[in-house]
């Protein structure tokens, strides 16, 4: 937890720190980049869902009847297109009962403001928890727009899972949505003049899909 941003959670797990070094390396190819995004997402999902509610159930092992627990929450995964798509498979592996909704937002390279081009959210959110997936939290524009759209649909609780964030983006997102918890693998120094995170890892979508 950062004192300046109490709702920011930056993982200090050694595995994530190791994988982030590999992910950020300019020599990492697209296939390895995608694999690392998936592995990092799995670890972040694990940390971000430690407070999911559970219910007690009775079931049979091969030896006897006993009691155990199962998740007692409806979860929606909302990747922000296109880079967020790379985080979906690992998220579904961890939460196979989830539904996936899609939001398409891109950053205008002149204004650095988010532009919406695709929205497949329901008119009314029926899930208990919505997890927004986007590798980068740079200016915070896309995340903030996603939170606003989800709240307009009635989302009761929103969690953001990213991979790398800049202070400017976290500040912008949490100033407007202080109820959202942000989980990232690394909190970087700042944005550069082109609003890219530095030291960063480049454009996550381009590196993931080999479109550099």
Is 35 a catalytic site residue? no
Q: Nearest 5 degrees, angle CA 151-CA 135-CA 195? A: 90
- Read off the pLDDT band of 1 (50, 70, 90): low
Q: Which of 107, 128, 149, 157 is flagged as catalytic?
A: 107
CB within 8 A of 99, min separation 6: which ones?
74, 75, 76, 77, 127
Give the pLDDT of residue 162: 97
- Read off the pLDDT band of 63 (50, 70, 90): very high
Q: Which of 25, 111, 189, 211 is flagged as catalytic?
A: 111
- C-beta of residue 129 within 8 angstroms of C-beta of residue 157: yes
Edge-to-edge strands, sheet with 186-187: 136-137, 164-165, 186-187
- Furthest CA-CA distance within the chain: 65
Whether CATH 3.40.50.300 fits 8-209: no
Is 29 a catalytic site residue? no
Is 203 a catalytic site residue? yes
Is the per-residue pLDDT at 139 higher than 60? yes
Q: Rounded to the nearest 5°, which phi and psi values hold at 15?
A: -65, -40
Provide the phi-psi class of 140: left if phi over 0, else alpha when psi is between -120 and 50, else beta.
Answer: left
Q: Where are the domains of the chain?
A: 8-209
């Amino acid at each position: 937890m950062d004192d300046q941003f109490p709702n920011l959670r930056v993982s200090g797990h050694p595995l994530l720190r190791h994988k982030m070094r590999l992910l950020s390396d300019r020599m990492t190819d697209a296939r390895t980049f995608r694999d690392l995004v998936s592995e990092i997402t799995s670890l972040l999902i694990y940390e971000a869902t430690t407070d999911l509610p559970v219910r007690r159930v009775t079931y049979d092992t091969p030896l006897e009847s006993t009691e155990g627990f199962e998740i007692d929450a409806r979860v929606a995964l909302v990747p922000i297109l296109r880079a967020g798509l790379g985080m979906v498979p690992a998220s579904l592996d961890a939460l196979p009962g989830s539904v996936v909704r899609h939001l398409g937002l891109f950053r205008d390279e002149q204004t650095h403001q988010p532009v919406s081009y695709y929205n497949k959210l329901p008119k009314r959110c029926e899930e208990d928890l919505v997890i927004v997936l986007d590798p980068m939290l740079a200016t915070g524009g896309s995340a903030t727009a996603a939170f606003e759209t989800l709240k307009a649909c009635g989302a009761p609780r929103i969690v953001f899972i990213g991979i790398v964030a800049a202070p400017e983006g976290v500040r912008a997102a949490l100033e407007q949505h202080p109820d959202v918890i942000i989980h990232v693998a690394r909190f970087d120094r700042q944005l550069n003049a082109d609003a890219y995170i530095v030291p960063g890892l480049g454009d996550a979508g381009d590196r993931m899909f080999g479109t550099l």
